[in-house]
Structure 1
């Protein structure tokens, strides 16, 4: 859904690099559509545009819509996205709790790619909180699950970038 808008990842922050104009145009195109895919895409676009208050309200709505009419996978995706908004707002503990629950449920259901998605984002939360050792552990778990699940090359590359960044940061924090 949003992969086409990602131009790359910042090697220091691990955040998506996007073209803000393209994202704003897409947000306008979607308008007020209420389908779950449209809601999730709007949340992501608002997040990458830095409009976190709006993103949080829509993320909560997306979780409710997924709970009422989506599949369990839909609900997990919506909850992971909601947790990324919490992360960007600095609510690291809440984001980690949500992502941990999502990762465990996805692994329990044998959905490796969805579990990897949750671990990758939990690693990003730890990375933002400057817990680089924990971040590295989550990124490596995500990499394993993505390899096991046959993830596309761009997902494997983004995870490898995250592992490298966490290793680099963890070495530099030990050296200081």
Structure 2
């Protein structure tokens, strides 16, 4: 079940039903499986509980490193980077997402590479680098199409490209 109802067209943040997310977080409780940890990280992040999200994301990376696959570890690292981004640690998030995108593309895991690039684009967007954001969003779109991604994923990427274009045009008009 997806808790995402859409994306804010200006911030690109997920729009969620906070009550549903809190209920799901309560439901998961202290489960320690990797899928449960990753879901908890995301829920804590969208609920704005960033300190808790950081602790659990670090735990999920350790669990993935010890007991998961390379793909699991990349997903955990990407999610950890999104928490860093939400906390304002943009350079650290950018570095982690770049490493993850390169590793995923090298392994020809289009879906994971697209996930990393989409989020790296959001970091650039937050930093005000709309050209770089657009480049990452366009690459993510191509990779998602290549991977046969769901329409919702393609739509979120198209929304991000549009937002970067709007911001680029505002910035160039203001210059």
TM over 0.5: yes
Distance in 2 separating the partners of 1:151 and 1:128: 25
Q: Pick from 39, 42, 63: which aligns with 1:41?
A: 39
Q: RMSD value over aligned CA atoms?
A: 0.6
Q: Pick from 78, 81, 84: which aligns with 1:80?
A: 78
Alignment partner, residue 90 of structure 1: 88
Q: Structure 2 stretches of 5 or more lacking a match?
A: none
**Mapping 1:4-153, distance limit 5 Å:** 4-153=2-151
Q: Report SS of the residue matched to 1:4.
A: coil
Poorly superposed stretches of 4+, deviation over 4 Å: none
Q: Structure 1 stretches of 5 or more lacking a match?
A: none
Distance in 1 separating the partners of 2:107 and 2:11: 31
Q: What is the Cα deviation at residue 136 of structure 1? A: 0.3
Q: What is the Cα deviation at residue 50 of structure 1? A: 0.2
Count of paired positions: 174
Residues 57-105 of structure 1: CA distance to partner in whole angstroms, max 9, x if unpaired? 0000000000000000000000000000000000000000000000000
TM norm structure 2 = 0.99
Distance in 2 separating the partners of 1:151 and 1:24: 28
Alignment partner, residue 164 of structure 1: 162
